[in-house]
Structure 1
Amino acid sequence: MNPVTIRCVITDDEPLAAKGIMGYAARTGFLDVVAVCEDAVQLNAVLKQQPVDLLLLDIEMPYISGIEFLKNYPQPPKVIFTTAYERYAMQGFELDVLDYLLKPISFERFLKAANKAYDYFAAQHTQLSPYFFIKAEKKLEKVLYQDILFVEALENYVAVYTTDKKILTHATLKSVIEMLPAQQFIQPHKSYVVNMQHIGAIEGNILHVGPFQVPISKYQKEEVLEKIINNRLLRK
């Protein structure tokens, strides 16, 4: 297995706590701290500027808590909470965080969480084949990532629209998202995931994807457009 380097951001309003976590991260050899933020406002700006794999995120901070930030940020990186408050543990795990560290954090406990993150991202790297399989109508269908137009959630099913067919399978949208390369797909709406390579036009709150139209949620339109366009807009 090739070694994995995890790009991470430390966010903590306590400078000494942030410094301690930064020192721990440096000792692991695989956590690359690309930024240190004092609050979620700074973190929000950092995430718009560069790719990040992991957040080492405090919970009680000025302006907006770590939990509220995580709930409202579209497609956030994976998270390890670092907090002095045990009462948020249940909320943390409901948000599918990798781990929950209580301050004061020992290096032994930090390393355990870091290794959990390493194993998670190493598994993601091994899954970077150009396809995956979907169970549909009593058979397994091979689907190439490049052929997917978009995926739509339909109650207890998801519909995968490709360049030549529609595949209906009993699954959750979240489980499909976990199989897709994050740099290629975007979630413009809670019920849809779209292959950015197949977006032909953007019209108001609608994405034209092949012959289909996919809605953009008004609450995350700005973030979605920024990710899709990503400095590729021709200006006057």
Structure 2
Amino acid sequence: MYKLLVVEDDPFISRSIAATFREKDFSILGVAKSVVEATALIEKQKPDICLLDIQLKGDEDGTALGKRLDVLQIPYLYLTAQTDPTTLAAVSETHPLGYIVKPFTKASLWSSFSVVWNLYLAKKSEVFTVRVDGYLHKIPEADILYLEAYDNYCYLITSEKKLLLPKTLKAVRETLRAPFFYSPHRSYYINVNCITNLGTRTVEVAGVSLPLSEARRPDLLRIVR
């Protein structure tokens, strides 16, 4: 059973969301009315997926929480009726799975969510398998932050481990099947879903600054957008 966190300050909407997802066998981790409440719930028990209203009570809005979830690699969708330039600019700095536009019915809510969620699960099901020091590691490709070349080997980095693989970066790249990887530099291969900042000559992946080739920056910028 997947755990859902609802971040919505309208009690009518939050109750409707909770009822809809309970009918679909989701566990409602909690309902938060602000970023502060949501952060406390996330720290206690990591949700599998979050639904975030962009306009929230308090000093921070949903996009501020979206940035934190990007770092934690917790997937989320925005709930919004806002399409003004300021909101869209803030949203463009985050990486949601998608958007659910208000107002919505229970049927349209589930229809919009299920398409994106099933696509996410399909991508996450891609598993990279490698043997290192006698141990077999099975790592979901979506959990890979980046790969780093090291002579005839390469490092594989996730949020929980760093493995030195007995393969070249090129060999590992040819093995990965997920479509969300990109090479910002000849010595790196990154998960674009984990980008937290894109500079002029560097790209930040889950808080780690990596080199970015000047020639490859335009392509990466288009992908992120």
What is residue 104 of structure 2 aligned with on the other side? 105
Q: Does 1:174 align with 2:194?
A: no
Query: In the TM superposition, what is the alpha-carbon distance from 1:124 to its structure 2 partner?
Result: 4.6
C-alpha distance 84-163 of structure 1, shift in aligned 2 (>3 A): closer
The TM-score with structure 2 as length reference comes to 0.58
SS at 1:57's partner residue? strand
Matched, 1:51 2:46: yes
User: Does the 8 Å contact 2:147/2:190 carry over to 1?
Assistant: yes
Distance 1:163 1:102, change over 3 A: closer
Aligned equivalents of 1:42, 1:163: Cα separation in 2: 39
For residues 127-138 of structure 1, the aligned pairs below 5 Å read 127-128=126-127, 130-131=129-130
Inter-partner Cα distance in structure 2 for 1:93 and 1:63: 20
3-state SS of the aligned residue for 1:118?
A: helix
The residue type equivalent to 2:112 in the other structure is A
Per-residue deviation at 1:151? Answer: 4.5
Deviates more, 1:34-43 or 1:85-94: 85-94
Q: 1:86 to 1:109 in 2, by over 3 A?
A: farther
1:190 to 2:208 alignment:
yes
Deviates most, 76-85 or 54-63: 76-85
Correspondence for 1:66: 62
Count of residue pairs the alignment pairs up: 163
What secondary structure sits across from 2:54 in the alignment? coil
What's the offset of the Cα at 1:111? 1.4
Structure 1 stretches lacking a partner, 5+ long: 133-142, 179-186, 193-236
Residue 13 of structure 1, aligned match among 9, 18, 24: 9
**Residue 95 (structure 1) aligns with:** 94
* Superposition TM-score, scaled by structure 1 size: 0.56
Gaps of 5+ in 2: 140-144, 157-162, 171-181, 184-188, 196-204, 211-225
Name the structure 2 match of 1:84. 81
**Cα-Cα RMSD:** 3.6
Instruction: Output the CA distance in 1 between the equivalents of 2:89 and 2:169.
Output: 33
Aligned to 2:223: none
> Any idea what SS the aligned residue of 1:60 has?
coil
Report the Cα offset of residue 96 of structure 1.
2.9
1:33 Cα deviation (Å)?
1.3
Matching of residues 94-173 of structure 1 within 5 Å: 95-124=94-123, 126-128=125-127, 130-131=129-130, 144-145=137-138, 151=146, 160=155, 162-163=163-164, 165=166, 167-169=168-170, 171=183, 172-173=189-190
- Give distance in 1, aligned partners of 2:146 and 2:168: 9
* Distance in structure 2 (CA, Å) of the matches to 1:47 and 1:127: 26
